[in-house]
Structure 1
């Protein structure tokens, strides 16, 4: 919402010396988000005055019409003589008042005005258009001022409003009243403790006034108040006054015509959207109702729209003429010859308007206000203000009859403990503070229990005030958030991170240290994602929970695996030029419980839940195990002067899983497996040792080519996913290793085994056979070729031996090596390679 400070001052008696930036700071302090302060006209300097055109000489012989004008600028030029000015505009005549920039002036954009010879004549200044002065958009010619606007030579800055400060406020959804000058002025008055003059305080017709245009409302739930007021004899050629054009332009609204401009002006002033019809085009009584399925309406943007039963419609005998609160129909719009105007002001249900606006993809100034909640009692005042402006500015005659349908219920008072705001803020506010501040925002306050309880009736323009905490917030923000003392919480001794929190941090540090970058993706997916993973119809990961109101219709399901989010993040990075990517994510997945209800129950908000209701909620909550996943593509080790790079492979995905297991203190066992979405020949099942034997905790490997194609990934992309909760349960707190000061003895051994024998089994046998003297074992070479038999492979391991209390002898090392080889031969059929 853009609010000119000059307009604001009409309704809030702000101190004269308050600057726009000081006002913005004060409004921010009471909770309004003032994003910027625009200083309009600050780049206009020098003499810009009112002038009267005395004579016009038409110059010929040029490619376009040129006029040589003599303009009376009074004494503004220092001599009192008429000013000679060249001008190409055609929309003014002799005797008209215009705006003149004299030599020495600088207009927006740094355009300096001087005296110069052009078209064979000396031009001493410029006759200005609204666009050249940045007043409003106007491409029809220069500004022609109304007669009596000012005397020639008068400085034009103040009467034209060339300089003004505009507050640009980002209005949050709960503060719809701030989408008006009226609402912001009330906030400013409260912030400074000064008088507020309500622009809605206009002379209203008698309460029993009747005879208005016939109308009815089908359902109070969709429209609680409906007002119609009309005028006749309106002059469709009457121009919008300059002051109104200027104010509309400063608020970001384009001037259209006087009738339309008046409705927009009142909307910006009071926050109440209005709609104007050509009454001659409205056929029969008006009815406010919900749409019927299949109805259609051509709106003002020339689009024929199919209406939904959730849409609120304004109809006459011909059918729909408006989508209420969103956009009017084409057939009844104000035209260039309209003389009888019907003004509508209504209070529509906010939720209906919000849904209609999104359904039809029509977001307007009107819908923005309705969906945030407008004042439910200002409709008659707004319509009256509009017809009085049409009478004043357009020569119209206001109808005596008024249509006023009031179906709203009076707001009930809220009981508020007088000390409630003080207890919430932790500040000892003096007694009477709450009542005073609540009255400043428009509440009616009565005292009970000797003043210890306040009965507060929120005003009609504050639908967001509904319980004691809402009211306490009003008191606290006006008293100043900055006056609430900052008291850091004191952590009780002996408490810290849980074991799960420590593990997650250790996993994050480990994977980050291994070159992975952490990402956070939305926990939503769609059927297309599951299809891309090549999951079969019976795969448990296809059993998902569906959101009742998804953010994205293409992703209505809660995730059962981290992989879709990771793969889409990987594809996005690769698509933006990052070819070598390694990402990881730790997060929850959501698995439906057996026998859970299809829909989670909705709890009441006006009372606490019963035991049965809590049990029903608990039954609907899905299981939420924590997973960790990682994906890799491109080079794992970059190329450079040191040599070629190394592409990421399935082995790097398995190593990432080992890093997670290491952080948990668990030993990972790797076995060949088949599982979507991994390549059937390059997939590993990952196990950890548990109390009941090996527990499957995840999979890793190279992704299936069809999955790679479905997500648009680089070829040979690798991934892993583990159930971190299962890894945590299998982990043990490892004792700090003993560091021996004695030397290490290294022995290599090359073993030939069948090609189908996993290297991990050979390693496990070596560890078991070598005994406690073995410090580590590392596979450093795998060979298949002419020097081994077909169907066999050679595995070369480096064995490190060390004792904690002595230097090992050659005989001890040889015996340990021989025992390791013997164990490998017995368990895997390995033979020493010659």
Structure 2
């Protein structure tokens, strides 16, 4: 938001210069990003009048002008502008002048005729991006006066960064209100009087979507001259605010938007058929906009239509078919209130971002529509003439925003500020912000004005008091509070040790968006419903993630595209699971591994740098589980998963309960996403998978260990984890370790069977184990394996 200092002074008395004003606004939450001059530096340019303009004797497109600056003899200037004519006052850059772009003006001969300077265009002076001729000044411009002084081009322009919650500050009036509150003054501003109607014509308006557009004000203007020259003062104000001058009608509507914050639109009345209807679009309905683009609207897009077709995208941009032109003489002015959620996201979705949509998305004062038309009529009449009819306001009172009062408690104000403020100071501050304030025994009941959509709860009011009083002015208080420590829960995630294990094993932490591509997520998890965003930042980031995998896969692809041949990423974040009518946030740890198993180095044989596979990542998970202190409680169980390879996927179980998944990405997805190497992924529920029990002291045995080796033949379908689980259950609590040191398949074994060699380690904490003790345990293990797994002992 660009606010020229002089424009602000029309609305409020400012006790500070522009730099100090910018500092105070910044401290109050309206950040000044830059303080610039109204025009780039130039010197030696004065107001001059063309006394005569004769054709150049040697060039058809040049003219030889006699130019007066009000003192001294007239100067001879050769000019190529088509609008150079006798009687015109313009900007003369005399010999020795310096223009933007480090251009020094010197005397020169043009086609044999000497030129003693240059008549400058607005573009050459840095006052416009393009211009068709030399700058035209008003007839009363004083000859010989410096152009910078005459146009006040050294005026300061404040470039303000307005946060999304403060749509009310996207106007000169809005900034003036802030200044008045800070300075303890009142907003005055130009008087806006209601002019009597010159005719009785009205244009019918029907609100078919009153929740989206509860108020629509309109007015018919007859006999407007849209070819008239826009006065320099208005063109300059628009330029300084960052808006290009177009025509009287358009310039006035833009001026009102910048001044009051109410976007307006002007229709060529002769091109409108029937009345105005404000309704939701039909899916695929086409609208040709002012910029010449044709868009296809979805059913949630609000349109302005006449009896034949859509004539505008409500709150965003008008339509081309009913646009005003130089030939327009009859105009229908629109000033409407569109609810923020009816405009929010539509412009971005359609690739449009306009001044109007920026304001409507943040919230426009719903009490401003009639006043904005009155201001537009008052500005347009002396420029382009015309006769205005009555201002017709069509509204649905039931759908207009309500401004319920908010209670501000004195004790809560003091608690959050850390200091007590006098009641009179608090009330004066709130009333300075144009809030209706009623004292109560414990504080105040405050009703925010119609333009403050950001005031809804008590904390909002406390923030307002703090920023206007000044954070630096609030006395510093001792913030000591007694510390209250809660007892540690019996189980808590071993987060730090877990993340350290991953980092030690070559993983790098990634932080991805919590909103993901709906198409990718649907392919990975077709059966999981996702929470859709009402206003996504992009179409491929429009749903909340049900897993961390979509974001990690996208990050892995980005790394692959940047020639990274070894990708190991993990993320600790939240996924969102829909449970009936509610959404549950689940603390999750996930990772993706793709590419080389080991980094490239001279000491690693080439064959060891093959692509990482399921078992590499499984070993990383087992290292994680060790960090919980209960590695034996985990188990991997093969199972199908929509996102994973049918034969290379497993559930992660802890004490028999599913706590996560591990597996290689499904081959179809590997091909569709164009991965060079199949990624391997895992995902764990942090609270369930990584919880640890408080460590308890265990005495170290002073007695020797006893080892017994056992070779058992089992079916190929029996996994090693199942075999180890059965041995652990069958052995007594004297089993201290179990090692699988050999697997044999081949001659001497039945078809479909394998031999597994186990090492069992026993130890007692209170005595030395005897052979009889160990043999009894081994006999129990063998009997259990025979019964449960159809195993036989291999001699």
- 1:48 is aligned, of 45, 62, 79, to 45
Moved more, 516-525 or 492-501: 492-501
Matched-pair contact (CA < 8 Å) for 2:198–2:388: no
Q: What is the distance in 2 between the residues matched to 1:770 and 1:291?
A: 72
C-alpha offsets along residues 580-634 of structure 1, whole Å, 9 cap, x if unaligned?
11112234555565xx4xxx2xxxxxxxxxxxxxxxxxxx455x65443222112
Q: What is the distance in 2 between the residues matched to 1:372 and 1:823?
A: 72
**Within-5 A mapping of 1:234-245:** 234-245=224-235
Matched-pair contact (CA < 8 Å) for 2:202–2:389: no
Name the counterpart of 1:637: 598
Name the counterpart of 1:604: none
Q: What displacement does 1:739 show?
A: 9.4
Q: What is the distance in 1 between the residues matched to 2:21 and 2:409?
A: 30
Name the counterpart of 1:368: 358
Q: What is the distance in 2 between the residues matched to 1:412 and 1:758?
A: 67
Name the counterpart of 2:500: 509
- 2:161 is aligned, of 140, 151, 170, to 170
Matched-pair contact (CA < 8 Å) for 1:44–1:105: no
Whether 1:259 aligns to 2:249 is: yes
Matched residue of 2:47: which SS? strand
Name the counterpart of 2:624: 660
- 1:673 is aligned, of 638, 641, 656, to 638
Rate the CA distance shift 1:144–1:35 in 2: closer, same or farther, 3 A: same
C-alpha offsets along residues 751-785 of structure 1, whole Å, 9 cap, x if unaligned?
99899586668989999999999998888999999
Rate the CA distance shift 1:717–1:197 in 2: closer, same or farther, 3 A: same
Rate the CA distance shift 1:323–1:798 in 2: closer, same or farther, 3 A: same
C-alpha offsets along residues 113-172 of structure 1, whole Å, 9 cap, x if unaligned?
344555455544332211122212333122122222221x21000323433332222333
Matched residue of 1:106: which SS? strand
Matched-pair contact (CA < 8 Å) for 1:544–1:558: no
Matched-pair contact (CA < 8 Å) for 2:91–2:147: yes
Whether 1:579 aligns to 2:565 is: yes
Aligned residues: 775
Q: What is the distance in 1 between the residues matched to 2:617 and 2:185?
A: 68
Q: What is the distance in 1 between the residues matched to 2:715 and 2:281?
A: 72
**Within-5 A mapping of 1:28-177:** 28-41=26-39, 43-56=40-53, 58-59=55-56, 65-74=61-70, 80-116=72-108, 119-120=111-112, 122-151=114-143, 153-177=144-168
Q: What displacement does 1:654 show?
A: 0.8
C-alpha offsets along residues 297-318 of structure 1, whole Å, 9 cap, x if unaligned?
5443345556667555555555
Q: What displacement does 1:8 show?
A: 1.4
Name the counterpart of 1:290: 279
Rate the CA distance shift 1:775–1:254 in 2: closer, same or farther, 3 A: same
Rate the CA distance shift 1:667–1:253 in 2: closer, same or farther, 3 A: same
Moved more, 340-349 or 180-189: 340-349
Name the counterpart of 2:240: 250
Name the counterpart of 1:5: 5
Q: What is the distance in 1 between the residues matched to 2:699 and 2:77?
A: 97
Matched residue of 2:321: which SS? helix
C-alpha offsets along residues 695-735 of structure 1, whole Å, 9 cap, x if unaligned?
55444344442332233323242222334444346x54455
Matched residue of 2:179: which SS? helix
Whether 1:721 aligns to 2:683 is: yes
Q: What displacement does 1:653 show?
A: 0.5
Rate the CA distance shift 1:495–1:108 in 2: closer, same or farther, 3 A: farther
Matched-pair contact (CA < 8 Å) for 1:629–1:722: yes
Q: What displacement does 1:242 show?
A: 1.9
Rate the CA distance shift 1:794–1:5 in 2: closer, same or farther, 3 A: farther
Matched residue of 2:50: which SS? strand
C-alpha offsets along residues 175-222 of structure 1, whole Å, 9 cap, x if unaligned?
2221111110111122122443234x312246x998242434446655
Name the counterpart of 2:18: 19
Q: What displacement does 1:54 show?
A: 3.9
Matched-pair contact (CA < 8 Å) for 1:414–1:468: no
Q: What displacement does 1:27 show?
A: 0.9
Matched-pair contact (CA < 8 Å) for 1:300–1:328: yes
Name the counterpart of 1:616: none
Moved more, 774-783 or 712-721: 774-783
Matched-pair contact (CA < 8 Å) for 2:514–2:544: yes
Matched residue of 2:555: which SS? helix
Matched-pair contact (CA < 8 Å) for 2:37–2:153: no
Q: What is the distance in 2 between the residues matched to 1:782 and 1:117?
A: 100
Rate the CA distance shift 1:244–1:555 in 2: closer, same or farther, 3 A: closer
Q: What is the distance in 2 between the residues matched to 1:140 and 1:741?
A: 99
Name the counterpart of 1:542: 527
Whether 1:399 aligns to 2:385 is: no
Q: What is the distance in 1 between the residues matched to 2:268 and 2:595?
A: 66
Whether 1:300 aligns to 2:281 is: no
- 2:463 is aligned, of 473, 496, 501, to 473
Q: What is the distance in 2 between the residues matched to 1:592 and 1:681?
A: 29
Name the counterpart of 2:202: 213
Q: What is the distance in 2 between the residues matched to 1:13 and 1:685?
A: 71
Name the counterpart of 1:274: 264
Rate the CA distance shift 1:441–1:706 in 2: closer, same or farther, 3 A: same
C-alpha offsets along residues 644-688 of structure 1, whole Å, 9 cap, x if unaligned?
462423222112211221121122566573433444554455444
Matched-pair contact (CA < 8 Å) for 2:345–2:535: no
Matched-pair contact (CA < 8 Å) for 2:95–2:117: yes
**Within-5 A mapping of 1:417-436:** 419=410, 421-422=413-414, 424-436=416-428
Matched-pair contact (CA < 8 Å) for 2:593–2:617: yes
Matched residue of 2:43: which SS? coil
Matched-pair contact (CA < 8 Å) for 1:102–1:124: yes
Q: What displacement does 1:498 show?
A: 5.0
Matched-pair contact (CA < 8 Å) for 1:784–1:794: yes
Q: What displacement does 1:260 show?
A: 0.9
Q: What is the distance in 1 between the residues matched to 2:297 and 2:306?
A: 16
Matched-pair contact (CA < 8 Å) for 1:217–1:223: no
Name the counterpart of 1:341: 331
Moved more, 546-555 or 505-514: 546-555
CA-based RMSD: 4.8
Name the counterpart of 1:462: 452
Rate the CA distance shift 1:305–1:781 in 2: closer, same or farther, 3 A: same
For structure 1, list consecutive stretches of 5 or more residues without a partner in the other structure.
536-540, 601-619
Matched-pair contact (CA < 8 Å) for 1:291–1:307: no
Rate the CA distance shift 1:514–1:734 in 2: closer, same or farther, 3 A: farther
Rate the CA distance shift 1:319–1:549 in 2: closer, same or farther, 3 A: closer
Matched-pair contact (CA < 8 Å) for 1:825–1:831: no
Q: What displacement does 1:227 show?
A: 3.5
Rate the CA distance shift 1:754–1:139 in 2: closer, same or farther, 3 A: farther
Q: What displacement does 1:478 show?
A: 1.0
TM-score where L is the length of structure 1: 0.78
Whether 1:187 aligns to 2:148 is: no
Name the counterpart of 2:367: 377
For structure 2, list consecutive stretches of 5 or more residues without a partner in the other structure.
786-790
Rate the CA distance shift 1:345–1:672 in 2: closer, same or farther, 3 A: closer
